[in-house]
Chain A
Amino acid sequence: MKISYNWIKEYLDLDVKPVDLAEKIERTSVEVDDVIKPSDGLKKIVVGHVLSVEAHPDSDHLHICQVDVGEAEPLQIVCGAPNIAEGQNVIVALPGSRIANNVKIKKSKMRGVPSAGMICALQEIGFSEDVVPKAYVEGIYVLPEDATPGDAVYDYLGMNDSLIDLDVTPNRGDMLSLYGTLHDLAAIYDKPIDLDHPAVKEDGAAIDDQLAVHVDETLSSQYRMRLVKNLKLGPSPMWLQIRLWNAGMRPINNVVDITNYIMLKYGQPLHAFDYDKFAGEDVYVRTAKAGEKLTTLDENDHDLDENDIVIADQKGPIALAGIMGGLDASIHDGTTTVAIESAVFEHDHIRKAAQRHNLHTDASQRFERGVNQAGVQEALDAAAQLMNELADGEVQKGSVVGSSNIPEPAVITITLPHVNAILGTELTMDQVAHILESLGFKVVISAETLTVTVPVRRNDIHIPADLLEEIARIYGYDQLPATLPTGRMTMGSLTTKQRLVRATRKSLEGLGLNQAISYALTTADKAKMFMMQASETTELAWPMTVDHAVLRMNLITGLLDDIAYNSARKVKDVALYEQGRVFYREDGQDRPAEEEHIAGAITGTLLPAAWNQPAQPVDFFQMKGIVAAYLKDMAVNGDVTYVPNADMPEMHPGRTADILVHGHRIGFLGEVHPSIAKKFKVGATYVFELNLQAIVDMPKQENQYDVISRYPAITRDIAMLVDNDITNEQIVALIERRGGAFLQSVKLFDVYDGVKVPKGKKSLAYTLTYQDKHETLVDDAVTQAFDKVSKHLEEDLGAEIR
């Protein structure tokens, strides 16, 4: 809501600049989006009096005007506006002036005719098109007759005012009005405000004989109407138009403008009906019936919902209550009798109806947040008074009241020690009482207790905590001390899981992978890829896009998306890991289980080519090395084994291994299936994904000191030919099982399956290291152990030792 600085000053004696006032409001009550002075940036724009208008000889729409701008000689200005006429006072941008959007106006020629400046439309001096009175939207604006040629136009148009744009939080509906804002400012500046109250001059007949209202009180706790007859519809006076357009509203005619003006002033939305359009003399406030329709003022048709509140006459709906009036019963040329409605509508109904019809209006916004329920009649009276004063209307006697439930003011007790205990302050009773009173609250003090009566207009205040906020903000948050909580000590430490997750990240970063954070919401297809267990998908009810519609059940597709993003930007070497949750859902359950996973993906090379080393493209074994090193860091207890898995549809069937710890599958690693890689538009990519929660839950080996033998180690190399289907793991397992007590390690140092090896065979070579912890090993003992291993390799695996 844009609130006028000048309007505020009519009620409050302030000696502060608009920006400082805005700053104060922001620090004390609600956020301020902006402070705007409409004349800022404009230069040399004055009132001109059109002395004569002639047709341009070379144009069918341009006119040559002689304009008095208060100087000795009139200016000749060529103008293309259709509504230009002799005798008008107009807005003239002089040569050398600056109009909206920093445009400079210079002397020029238009179709050969010299033109010294420009006659302006309101839009050209910065008015938003939707506040320009309809009569002037397509042409220049015509200033009042008493405007003095040569004067700057700004004051005539209210452009020297400053407008403070408030971003009102949902709880502060009261701030959506001048009066509400004034109450807050009175407290902020600790100054009295002098609000005016209406005095209606009534005439004519009693309203009761002319109008009856029938109200469902659950929909409208207050419903009041007044009737004004013999109105003279016309434009509003300038001061009123200025109030409206400075608040962002278009002036329409005096009757409609008055309702809007009262809303800005009191926060109470009003609606003016053309009484003569009512079918009968009865008005109903009810919910819409199935099949009812309404064309609203903005000429949109609405199929009404049975939860919409409508105002209806005998024939049917004439307004969507609290949101927008209907077109049929609206004020139009020829309206002479107006029924003014001032009411309170149930906020939840209004909120939903505004959403349903996508019709968020100034009225609905205020009803949603709650209006001042103690001021409904006053706003109605003020409107009637103005219709009498500005449109010569005859206000009929009395109001018709369909419902009149005004809530009791909230009475809240609070103690001074409580205030200080919660705020951390040392305020005195006087200070607290004064703050509350300055807000217009009634305070009764008894010993340390304050009994506070909160005016109905502050519908956000119900409990002591609400009062604390009022006291704190008016006292000033800057004045609060800054301390840290004291009291009983608490331990701050990470859980085992949190420590392991952190260690996981450090480990993988140390191994060369960058941490990625990808989207957990993905496509239905991607969610279901690289699955480690069977699961139903979990889908959003109303996704924004298909790209983010389903919860992931793997991390790898996110990493592949990331790689694709990099690769599309010509970044070919990408090494990423991600730690995050996947979401598995059982059939029949609404909510998925969340499992912590860790995944990695590498494409291109882990180490870029350099001047002294060639690039080494990532392969299966590099990824396996990373996984193995990571699992070693995690110290999982039990053997880690890798079992070929040819059955994952997204993985290369010959280059994928399940990862088992102590026989339990915790994940997999390998090359992404080339056709999947192609689908993602990525090159050859190696990935792994592990169930991190499983790693957390597994027993771990503790670090332990092992004596390093002082005695020399003896190594023996063994090379052998074996059938292709014999695995390294089988050979190592056999060597370890049969290697004897002194075998310290087995290390593969060569694999060869080239031309020198018979078909169907491969050659493998290992170094066996023997060592005794307690004495120097005898060669004979090693030879004996070595021979035994060789023999077993031959017998058990059919190896041919070379």
Chain B
Amino acid sequence: MSLKDKLSELRQRGLADIKQSTDLKDVNQVRVQLLGKKGPITEVLRGMRDLDAAERPKVGAFANEIRDDLTAALTQRKAELEQAVLNAQLAKETLDVTLPGTPVAKGEPHVIQQIVDQIEDLFLGMGYQVLSGPEVEEDKYNFEMMNLPKNHPARDMQDTFYITKDILMRTQTSPMQARTLEKHDFSKGPLKMISPGVVYRRDTDDPTHSHQFHQVEGLVIDKHITMADLKGTLQVLAHELFGDKFDVRLRPSYFPFTEPSVEADITCFNCGGKGCKVCKNTGWIEVLGAGMVHPNVLKMAGVDPDVYGGFAFGVGPDRFAMLKYGVDDIRNFYLNDVRFLTQFTKKG
């Protein structure tokens, strides 16, 4: 057999061995066998010295070619087997991705807080300040400066927790408006404020009444504020809180601290305005009170009602939350059942 034939046969046998190797150890063994110092190729090359000088480079080149082929085949086989090992390992590592994720500790803001924050952000964007006053108020700020002198019949409308004759739990957040009006320097610009906070009424707690609830009152005083501005502002508020589909309508009402006074209804959540049980078939739901600030309120705060005027409104975040989410019992907001608190998780 010529050397060349021998090499050809070597290649054939080597490739077959490589192909048959089943793990990395095998591959290594085959490599040592074929290409090692004691391997057949080395041996063949060693036998080259017996060849003609003319033959030698040809056979040498052929031998190198065979060695390269075998090396390439070994490398490829090794890669294949490594891949197989990896695949097997990955297969073994496969998870049931439908198993639940590991719990993380995560708290939620209170649903009423979310609504208050939303209202605050809206009005901050429109250049309002956010001011919160004391919860224990003087009768003077809570009532008298709101144009509700002692013995005013409308005081019966809101039963009050008194601490002494003159000190009470605020029944509304508007006393902060009186406090701010008293101090505001109109030469520095208009007064635009909202006052969010907790208020208290002498009510027995039941599904629709709570002795403690929240209010956000707004006040804008400047030289040229109109009732149309009030309407537009309330529209923006409704759209922001509930969505563009919600419309606002105004109805006459009575509050001692505003004149004209209005109540604002928005499109019924339940039926979208078609009329249903929730809205007593009117398609509308009453959500807030508002009006143009009564001249007496301005006068009492030392603001000239012939020069300045504006509007005020008051909204109840508890009521908003009840309407928006269909909460059927106001007490849920203050009993803090974790299963209730963690229902309102949508952010942004």
Q: Hey, which bits of chain A sit against chain B, CB under 8 A?
A: 23, 26-31, 34, 169-172, 347-348, 351, 368-369, 421-425, 463, 465-466, 468-469, 472-473, 477-478, 480-495, 498, 502, 505, 508-521, 538-544, 548, 551, 562, 565-566, 569, 571, 573-577, 580-581, 583, 590-592, 594, 606-608, 610-613
> Measured between C-beta atoms, what is the minimum distance from B192 to chain A in Å?
5
> Measured between C-beta atoms, what is the minimum distance from B47 to chain A in Å?
57
Q: Interface residue tally of chain B, by bracket?
A: 35 or more
A485 touches B192 (CB 8 A): yes
> Which of chain A's residues have a CB closer than 8 A to the CB of B232?
481-484
| Chain B positions 166-212 with a Cβ under 8 Å from a chain A Cβ | 166-167, 169, 189-190, 192, 198, 200, 202-204, 211-212
Residue from the list B136, B162, B223, B262 in contact with A477, Cβ < 8 A: B262
> Which of chain A's residues have a CB closer than 8 A to the CB of B253?
31, 169
Cα-based distance from A485 to B339 in the complex (angstroms): 42
> Which of chain B's residues have a CB closer than 8 A to the CB of A565?
335-337
Segment with Cβ contacts to A, from B17-25, B34-42, B65-73, B127-135: B127-135
B334 touches A490 (CB 8 A): no
B262 touches A509 (CB 8 A): no
Segment with Cβ contacts to A, from B8-16, B75-83, B84-92, B103-111: B103-111
> Which of chain A's residues have a CB closer than 8 A to the CB of B99?
611-612
The 0/1 profile, CB within 8 Å of A marked 1, for residues 300-329 of chain B is 000000000110000000000000000000
Given contacts A422-B292, A472-B260, A575-B105, contact A171 B254 (CB under 8 A): yes
B164 touches A610 (CB 8 A): no
A483 touches B161 (CB 8 A): no
Q: Hey, which bits of chain B sit against chain A, CB under 8 A?
A: 99-100, 102-110, 112-113, 117, 120, 123-130, 134-136, 138, 151, 153-154, 156-157, 161-164, 166-167, 169, 189-190, 192, 198, 200, 202-204, 211-212, 220, 222-229, 231-233, 235-236, 249-254, 259-263, 280, 282, 292, 294-295, 309-310, 333-339, 341-342
A544 touches B204 (CB 8 A): yes
A425 touches B102 (CB 8 A): no
B105 touches A612 (CB 8 A): no
* 26 A-B contacts (beta carbon < 8 Å): A34-B280, A170-B157, A463-B295, A477-B251, A481-B232, A483-B228, A485-B225, A490-B128, A494-B130, A495-B130, A505-B109, A510-B107, A511-B105, A512-B107, A516-B336, A517-B334, A519-B212, A521-B211, A542-B161, A544-B211, A565-B335, A566-B338, A569-B337, A594-B135, A612-B99, A613-B102
A607 touches B104 (CB 8 A): yes
Cα-based distance from A518 to B210 in the complex (angstroms): 12
Residue of A nearest to B296 (CB): A463
> Which of chain A's residues have a CB closer than 8 A to the CB of B134?
591, 594
A487 touches B190 (CB 8 A): yes
> Which of chain A's residues have a CB closer than 8 A to the CB of B166?
590
Q: Given A28-B252, A612-B99, list of 15 further CB < 8 A pairs?
A: A29-B252, A424-B228, A425-B228, A465-B292, A468-B260, A481-B231, A498-B130, A517-B112, A521-B200, A542-B162, A544-B203, A571-B338, A581-B135, A590-B167, A594-B134
B192 touches A490 (CB 8 A): yes
Cα-based distance from A480 to B249 in the complex (angstroms): 10
A514 touches B341 (CB 8 A): yes
A424 touches B226 (CB 8 A): yes
Residue from the list B153, B223, B236 in contact with A487, Cβ < 8 A: B223
B136 touches A591 (CB 8 A): yes
Cα-based distance from A481 to B232 in the complex (angstroms): 8
Cα-based distance from A521 to B213 in the complex (angstroms): 12
Nearest first, the 10 A-B pairs at minimum CB distance are A424-B228, A512-B105, A424-B226, A469-B260, A169-B254, A477-B250, A509-B107, A562-B336, A482-B232, A490-B127
> Which of chain B's residues have a CB closer than 8 A to the CB of A608?
103
> Measured between C-beta atoms, what is the minimum distance from B121 to chain A in Å?
9
Residue of A nearest to B342 (CB): A514
B224 touches A486 (CB 8 A): yes
Cα-based distance from A424 to B162 in the complex (angstroms): 40
A31 touches B107 (CB 8 A): no
> Which of chain A's residues have a CB closer than 8 A to the CB of B202?
542, 544
B113 touches A539 (CB 8 A): no
Cα-based distance from A505 to B110 in the complex (angstroms): 10
> Which of chain A's residues have a CB closer than 8 A to the CB of B117?
502
A493 touches B124 (CB 8 A): yes
Cα-based distance from A481 to B230 in the complex (angstroms): 10
B336 touches A518 (CB 8 A): yes
Cα-based distance from A574 to B342 in the complex (angstroms): 11
> Measured between C-beta atoms, what is the minimum distance from B282 to chain A in Å?
7
Cα-based distance from A750 to B222 in the complex (angstroms): 66
B252 touches A517 (CB 8 A): no
A509 touches B254 (CB 8 A): no
> Measured between C-beta atoms, what is the minimum distance from A335 to chain B in Å?
35
Given contacts A30-B252, A170-B153, A590-B167, contact A543 B161 (CB under 8 A): yes
A480 touches B231 (CB 8 A): yes
> Which of chain B's residues have a CB closer than 8 A to the CB of A576?
336, 338, 341
Given contacts A169-B254, A590-B164, A591-B138, contact A490 B189 (CB under 8 A): yes
Cα-based distance from A580 to B304 in the complex (angstroms): 36
